[in-house]
Chain A
């Protein structure tokens, strides 16, 4: 199949795109039920987890294997048509938002776990495999897949790779990027390449490192080699109730300052506790202004000792109740409130925005004060849920979309929270990604030149800007001919200097 070329692009710009022709090609290559053009069925795919952005794609394809993905993408290249990959559609930044003039490639039929290789502590999976299924397959061998987004029962590993997803346990174990060894990728011109490798540190540029977290803008992942970790000998979990987030924050600081690295430290404030209570009856300590969920894991003698210290630090910082999970069932109960927190705020507000900002953890008290001031000034309620150990905040900005101006007010508060994060040296997103939603904030965190430099990678992979265009970057960079390409004799040689070197 012919590779994408600049000629294609200009053609695409001037001539109407031949979508019908492309769809015809899909029908030749794929099973009939794998090509969706029925408007009613296309609607199913109009948005991801961020439903405020909706676009019905021109066509949806459901490939069953990597070869089919290769054929689809190559055909898109030939016809000069844009495409977007989609896993489970749980993304919270409209990263998988379709294009009305483009193809949506959905990986939900690519759910095979191809290999669980305990001797090499790795698994090889197709991109549509559900995150939790990797751990389920590894568990009988005493292993697990570390990235554990709260959506892990539904989100795909391909989506995790694209978003560099984290989870409650990434404080100690890192993000998806720390747990991927190799990727098979179909590049935007339809070639299949392997990035990374089953051995560590393969020679060459770490293109895999750049790919993870690129939000589907560099190609379609068709196979993922993930690391598996040995299950810890011991796990201990506690729930501590504090009068307010200040005390809870103080306990977090103390724990970290003591050189303890918990597997997770999560915090929820009064409003989010109230929501969780209504939704899942998690039975969190009554009257708490904040709760902490702290989990430790590792060799039993270490965990035992450190867990006692953590309990002491909680009490020293005003915890009025500390509950220790006696078994896995109680542990699950403690986590239930936290993991259902996003959905739970639906109980106390008709609409809400899930924000995802990051601050240096030590700035927590200041930032929370700023957020409550923003809330008070605007009259917009904000519930706070966060990965306290690594300063990743998920303020839930509550509003009622039926009230005039409410959406705008909520969005303003939500945006101001990101400004607060940036003012403290933080980030506009810790795990949900930029997608279409945060494109407008990228210029607040990076200069035009920073963004231009990042897009040089995109130009290397996708010079025609057909792979999930419009995401991550506010303005596309024209790739074309590299600027200032020097031709002819090197100036120093010309000057008769080079020979002396």
Chain B
């Protein structure tokens, strides 16, 4: 099947996304849609964080809009955004040929390994807020970091058993490379030409400017602090409410997912507060610890659900 030109990843941002989705669909991944909450990275999606825990096999791929309030540059930096897309793949357990599969995906989007220098450069991944870490690499293409490749060892403070392999593609940067443009905002979004062409800037430049103002200058810190506390309290409340009764036959946890949503929310509130510069260096650590405690509790709850491996 030959691609129409406007779907070619070398000239179309959406073509890149669709190509990756198709490729990973062929590897048996469920193609999910983005999680409908603000997260800092695709890893936060419960399809990764929670599904990485427990014995069950799992393969998923999805685009995840990622919010990094501190990375806002008022639309002026050509390759750093406060809202960008990650393409996330998780394979659990990781198949023995995960590196080959990854290289296959590069081939699918038009990166020819006879021409391009692909390298796996040590980069161990750690998320203090998620209580997670893994070993892996930054994947370089001709000196540019195009993906992160991680073998999860621990998530939410629990050993991963089995280990999942996680791939994260920074879509904008990858597309810049494929399209040969110098700025994310110049990316051709829809692959069309002339008046029909829509650029990344057409879609997102205004948002980058507005959100940078919001993130650095106007976000209501009092509200954010309150929301942080509320989310933290709600998370604990839902965890408690979902906890199985000691005498019940069914010993499954009943509300791990809603509780985890609140953990995600707390994490995002923290990121916003951090960008607003209202969290001192010493406090910072304690906020991170508070989110980690929530993540750990949610992970523990998940392990008591069907998804976490408990028989119905």
Are these two chains actual partners, yes or no? no
